[in-house]
Amino acid sequence: MPRSIIGWFVVCWSAFVLASVVVGVLLLSLYRQTTTEQVRRASAAVAHGCDAIAGRYQFLVAGTNSPPSDLRAPEVVRGLTGAVQIALRDLPGVEGGIWQTEQGSLAYAFPTYEGTGEKTDLPSAEEPQIRDAAEASALDGVPVDRRRETQSQVLLLHACPLTGPIPHLAAWTMARVITSGGRSYVEAMAGLGVLLLVVLGSAAWLGRLLLGWTRRVRRLEAALAAGTGELPRLDATGQRDLDRIIDAINRAGGRLADARREAEALARQVAESQRLATLGRVVAGVAHEIRNPIAAMRLKAENAIAAGHDIPRKDQALRTIIDQIGRLEGLLRNLLSSVQRAKPILTPVEDVIDFLNERVDLFREQAAAHGLAFKVEGRSIDAAFDSARIGQAIDNLVLNAIQNTPPGGSITISAERSADRLVLSVADMGQGVPEDVRAQLFEPFVTARPDGTGLGLAVVREIAEAHGGTARAIHRPDGTTFIIELPWRPS
Amino acid sequence: MATILIVDDDAAMREGLAETLGDLGHRAIEAPDGDVALAIAARERLDAVLLDLRIPRMDGLEILRQLRSRPDRAPPVAILTAYASAANTIEAMRLGAFDHLTKPIGRDDLISLVSRMLRSRTAALPPTAPEGNDEVLVGSSDAMRAVQKMIGLVTDSDATVLIHR
């Protein structure tokens, strides 16, 4: 079973050629049959003609016992010719005559001759054959059939002995069956010619069609393959069936492009509104964190002015103001480091556990004040990372854990290496992160604690991402585990 | 001399407020968070409260709700916040806040606020209706803030309000 339309065409065309060959063969055999039949009919006619001449001759010589003295006497010739004439009158295409061995042709007639005038002379081309047949027949006293086939005709010659007063006498008849140039020949050849023309024409036409089709399909294929992402706009090929498909593809492509444009516009809108929402939260956070110190400074300053000459009070106001300026500066520094991505400076760390212990030591006093204990877990690992910044991230997480864990709880800090990742984690035993904050937990100014600035985790994420790693939180039923995952590099 | 409670997690802010109140001759009590504030409120007879909205462990609005739970003997409570939104302004006013001011608050504003609070010890509506819906009102101008406060004050009454400018 062919799978392509071209395969189907070839199969159909092959069937058509087969049918044509069969028809051709039938035509030829029909023609041959026709020729054979004609020859059979003609030989029957010549035999019949010869018999008829013999009959006429018997009638002519009835009662005569001696041969005429001069066989070429006009009355003799006239009589014989008349007998032949009458005998062959009703046999179209048959000519004949009477032959005497010693005297040669005594009579000849071709009553159904189709040419102009009357044909009275023996066809000289066939004379040797006529002589041969007639003399053989007269000699043997039996009918003789001679048949000569040439390219364009079959010559049928029949001779039969004439018994009577004239010795060595025979009648002959002859007919020609035209084999080429005849009506059935022309018909057969015309049929074959038309068949051949149709076969060749259809082959050429089909070939051209298939070639055009293949070329168009290949062009379509190339145009479709060339399109990057979107469906390309296809040009009409001029072939109606293909053009219908192309129209459909073009329409589908248009719809696809519209849908894509719409989706992109929507995605842009969503991204924009998310950006605005994040910005809104950040700005609200900044406003809150900046207005508190400003409010304190303003009140202290106005109080100091209102106090008149109370110098210690003015000094105290100035100190408060300086403290608040420091607070604002710290806030801005944190804010900047939460959004500024600096390339980490990798330093070798021989044992990550020792490194973690050093960080934790800074908070032992503070933790003890809250009634908390630290646990540092993990096997000794060597690694390379920006120890100052990772230290800052760990500090933020530990501070976060201290503030979130109720007294009596413990904080677990651990390090482990899995294949090419270094995983640092800080687990607290707090109340967990409220659902509404989880999604934006690592954004600046997102905090579940009213006293937090919401910058600690943003800084942690920024440091982790600067190292090519990630920061995330796992929300356990009994607390939260913050994880910093870094690509592991050997020290 | 009046006794005024300052609830704010920011020590410098508390101190500044206390200093101003001291200058006016009032007694200021400072509370860094909600628990301390409610404990003091239960113990002391307060003439006014200055309350920050964003404070540790207990939301400012929750403290306000608890302080105003017995409106007959509740002191007037003024909200001082660093970040005023339409929602928290309306909610605070609905819960019976005396006023809702945005930090940084100036000394003169504070003095005027305290004197107004002490003058109208009884003016405030008790909270009666359930939570309102969260429709968003945009705007942070003084005029708009006044409108938001008014909405908070009338939101639990049946009165039809025309907002007109």
From CA A455, how far away is CA A334, in angstroms rounded?
7
Q: What is the pLDDT of residue B127?
A: 41
Least confident residue range of A44-53, A67-76, A451-460:
A451-460
Based on C-alpha coordinates, what's the Rg of chain B? 15
- Chain A contact for B55 (CB, 8 A cutoff): yes
Q: Six-digit token pair at A284? A: 């609200």
Task: Say whether pLDDT at A450 is over 60.
Answer: no
User: B110 and A299 in contact by Cβ < 8 A?
Assistant: yes
Q: Is residue B162 in some structural domain?
A: no
B152-162: burial string, b at 16+ Cβ within 10 Å, e else: bbebbeeeeee
Q: What is the pLDDT of residue A307?
A: 85
Q: Kindly tell me the burial class for residue A353, based on how many C-beta atoms sit within 10 Å of its own C-beta (0-12, 13-18, 19 or more).
A: middle
Average pLDDT of the residues in A58-72 = 84
DSSP string, A56-100: HHHHHHTT--S--S-TT-HHHHHHHHHHHHHHTTTSTTEEEEEEE
From CA B137, how far away is CA A425, in angstroms rounded?
42
Average pLDDT of the residues in A314-325 = 92
The edge-to-edge listing of strands for the beta sheet with B77-81 is B27-31, B3-7, B48-52, B77-81, B99-102
Domain count for chain B, please give it.
Answer: 1
Which of A 187-226 lie inside 8 A of B, CB atoms?
none
Q: Is residue B10 in some structural domain?
A: yes
User: A300 and B104 in contact by Cβ < 8 A?
Assistant: no
Q: What is the pLDDT of residue A397?
A: 92
- Chain B contact for A453 (CB, 8 A cutoff): no
The domains of chain A, with CATH numbers, are 5-185 (3.30.450.20), 240-340 (1.10.287), 343-487 (3.30.565.10)
Contact B82, A292 (CB under 8 A): yes
Q: Is residue B67 in some structural domain?
A: yes
Q: What is the pLDDT of residue A95?
A: 93
CATH for B43: 3.40.50.2300
Distance from CA of A437 to the nearest CA of B (A): 16
Q: Is residue B129 in some structural domain?
A: yes
Q: Is residue B93 in some structural domain?
A: yes
Q: Is residue B161 in some structural domain?
A: no
Using an 8 Å CB-CB cutoff, list chain B residues near A289.
82
DSSP annotation of B127: P
* Digit-coded pLDDT (tens) for B75-132: 899 999 887 888 888 888 888 888 988 888 899 999 999 999 988 764 444 444 344 4
φ and ψ at residue B28, rounded to 5 degrees? -105, 130
User: What are the DSSP E strand ranges found in A73-183?
Assistant: 94-100, 104-109, 144-149, 153-162, 169-178
The edge-to-edge listing of strands for the beta sheet with A104-109 is A104-109, A94-100, A169-178, A153-162, A144-149
Helix, strand, coil percentages for chain A (3-state, nearest 5): 55, 15, 25
Q: What is the pLDDT of residue B126?
A: 43
Residue of chain B whose alpha carbon sits nearest to that of A296:
B13
From CA B105, how far away is CA A299, in angstroms rounded?
7
- Chain B contact for A449 (CB, 8 A cutoff): yes
Q: What is the pLDDT of residue B164?
A: 67
* Digit-coded pLDDT (tens) for A130-158: 999 999 999 998 999 999 888 888 899 99
Prediction ipTM score: 0.77
φ and ψ at residue A426, rounded to 5 degrees? -130, 115
Q: Give kind and range of the element (H or E) at residue A470.
A: strand A470-476
* Digit-coded pLDDT (tens) for A175-185: 988 877 677 77
Which has more confidence, A444 or A328?
Answer: A328
Residue of chain B whose alpha carbon sits nearest to that of A327:
B12
Stated pTM of the model: 0.48
Q: What is the pLDDT of residue A265?
A: 92
Contact A174, A43 (CB under 8 A): no
The Cα angle at residue A223 between residues A217 and A228, in degrees rounded to 5: 145
Q: What is the pLDDT of residue A229?
A: 66
Out of B12, B83, B107, the one facing A296 most closely (by C-beta) is: B12
Distance from CA of B106 to the nearest CA of A (A): 6
Q: What is the pLDDT of residue B129?
A: 39
Q: In which band, very low, low, confident or very high, does the pLDDT at A454 lie, cut at 50, 70 and 90?
A: confident
Contact A448, A440 (CB under 8 A): no
Residue of chain A whose alpha carbon sits nearest to that of B106:
A299
User: A288 and B110 in contact by Cβ < 8 A?
Assistant: no
Q: What is the pLDDT of residue B131?
A: 42
Please state whether beta strands B48-52 and B77-81 pair in parallel, antiparallel, or not at all (unpaired): parallel
Average pLDDT of the residues in A448-456 = 67
Task: Say whether pLDDT at B48 is over 50.
Answer: yes
Q: Is residue B70 in some structural domain?
A: yes
Task: Say which residues have a Cβ less than 8 Å from residue A289's Cβ, sequence separation at least 6.
Answer: A331, A445, A453, B82
Average pLDDT of the residues in A250-265 = 90
Q: What is the pLDDT of residue B114?
A: 92
Size of interface A-B (CB pairs under 8 A): 82
User: A320 and B16 in contact by Cβ < 8 A?
Assistant: yes
From CA A175, how far away is CA A123, in angstroms rounded?
12
> Crossing angle of helices B34-43/B60-67, nearest 10°?
10
Task: Say whether pLDDT at A194 is over 80.
Answer: yes
Task: Say whether pLDDT at A398 is over 80.
Answer: yes
Using an 8 Å CB-CB cutoff, list chain B residues near A296.
10, 12-13, 15-16
- Average pLDDT taken over every residue of chain A: 87
Distance from CA of B74 to the nearest CA of A (A): 25
Q: What is the pLDDT of residue B27?
A: 93
- Chain B contact for A294 (CB, 8 A cutoff): yes
Q: How many residues does chain A have?
A: 491
Using an 8 Å CB-CB cutoff, list chain A residues near B13.
292, 295-296, 299
Least confident residue range of A226-240, A359-373, A394-408, A414-428:
A226-240
Q: How many residues does chain B have?
A: 165
Average pLDDT of the residues in A307-327 = 90
A350-354 contacts, C-beta under 8 A, 24 or more apart: A350/A382, A350/A491, A351/A380, A351/A381, A351/A382, A352/A378, A352/A380, A352/A381, A352/A382, A352/A383, A352/A415, A352/A422, A352/A424, A353/A378, A353/A379, A353/A380, A353/A381, A353/A415, A354/A380
From CA A328, how far away is CA A334, in angstroms rounded?
10
DSSP annotation of B48: E
User: A451 and B110 in contact by Cβ < 8 A?
Assistant: no
Q: What domain range includes position B36?
A: 3-154
Task: Say whether pLDDT at A301 is over 60.
Answer: yes
Q: Kindly tell me the burial class for residue B85, based on how many C-beta atoms sit within 10 Å of its own C-beta (0-12, 13-18, 19 or more).
A: middle
Q: Is residue B56 in some structural domain?
A: yes
Average pLDDT of the residues in B146-164 = 71
Task: Say whether pLDDT at A240 is over 70.
Answer: yes
Distance from CA of A434 to the nearest CA of B (A): 13
Question: For residue A71, how many C-alpha atoms fall within 13 Å in the half-sphere facing its CB?
Answer: 17
- Chain A contact for B39 (CB, 8 A cutoff): no
Out of B23, B85, B105, the one facing A295 most closely (by C-beta) is: B105
Amino acid symbol at B102: T
